[in-house]
Amino acid sequence: MLETIKTQNLTKIFKVKKKKIRAIQDINLSIQNGEIFVLLGPNGAGKTTFLKTISTLILPTYGDAWVNGYNIKKDEYKVRKSIGLSTGFERSFYYRLNGYQNLEFFGTLYGIKSKDLKERINFLLNLFNLEDAKDLKYMKYSTGMKKKLSLARALLHDPDVYIFDEPTSSIDPISANEIRDIILSLKDKNKTIILSTHDMHEAELLADRIGILNKGNMLAVDKKENLKRVLKKEIIKVKIDKGINEDLIAQDGIKEKINLFRKIKDNEFEIEVENSSEVLDQLIEKLKNQDRKILTINVETPSIEEVFINFVRNDKK
């Protein structure tokens, strides 16, 4: 796959009251074409600084980055033209212009032809369910409407790369779900998306890969399923037709692989293991040999929230 975003030792240091604060430290990252990359981190971890840096809104102290092959220091204009950006705290819209006029203004800056721009604006207003608010002045927009208009502006010129800083924060669940659907539709069009979020459900739903950032350092970057394996904890939940005791399950060959046995009901139990694939076949065979019929069997892996907490807590030790 083609590499759309690349960073090399990307670092940003702020000077505050004669103190140096490393907002991001030696970030090395490669994001592929058509990928949704989700950035997780506590407040103050450096997520917004990282996104602003690769968007050319702020310059790195040292290190480098490329977006669509363009260098963020030497080709900042080309970088900006090739991305769609929506920031967490929007201050660039004109309060006395209505929604349509704001999009029209920014579309003109992008150099979109008048006829094409009108069609594009109407399409985006419909996409984000803002048709009824197009004549409403921006100052009267709700938080959710402002968020949607910011995202609509990011899509105006149909770029290949999207950078979204907390795209669903502070908005209602229905609007948040609509925005997630739009983000997934962008992926279907082979667009590249990098976004930050505090919503672990959102990360689980959207991410191809996840990066966990803490105190300016990238602690981990991987696919969701690989990050979950780091915890070495999977739960096998079983319901059978007859009662069973732990002794019948925890026998030689499988006993050493079970971290925890938990009886839910007489005929329901769950076991905690490091790797369910190493246990399932043996477990099924043992139940069969004991004349137990399996009614249901499910494997639960750790949540992204558990993974996130594990990495951040261990980083504090």
Q: Which residues contact 199 (CB under 8 A, 6 or more apart)?
A: 168, 169, 176
Which domains does the chain carry? 3-229 (3.40.50.300), 232-301 (3.30.70.1560)
| pLDDT of the chain, 317 residues: tens digit per residue | 589 999 999 999 999 888 999 999 999 999 999 999 999 999 999 999 999 999 999 999 999 999 999 999 999 999 999 999 999 777 889 999 999 999 999 999 999 999 999 999 999 999 999 999 999 999 999 999 999 999 999 999 999 999 999 999 989 999 999 999 999 999 999 999 999 999 999 999 999 999 999 999 999 999 999 999 888 889 999 999 988 777 767 666 677 888 888 888 888 999 888 888 888 888 888 888 888 899 999 999 999 999 999 999 988 75
pLDDT at 212: 98
- Cβ(242)–Cβ(283) under 8 Å? no
3 state SS for 242-282: CCCCHHHHCCCCCHHHEEEEEEEECCEEEEEECCHHHCHHH
Helices (H) and strands (E) in the chain, counts: 11, 14
Query: Whole-angstrom Cα distance, residue 295 to residue 3?
Result: 47
CA distance 317 to 313: 7
pLDDT at site 16: 87
- pLDDT at 80 (0 to 100): 95
CA-CA distance, 198 to 282, in Å (whole number)?
Answer: 39
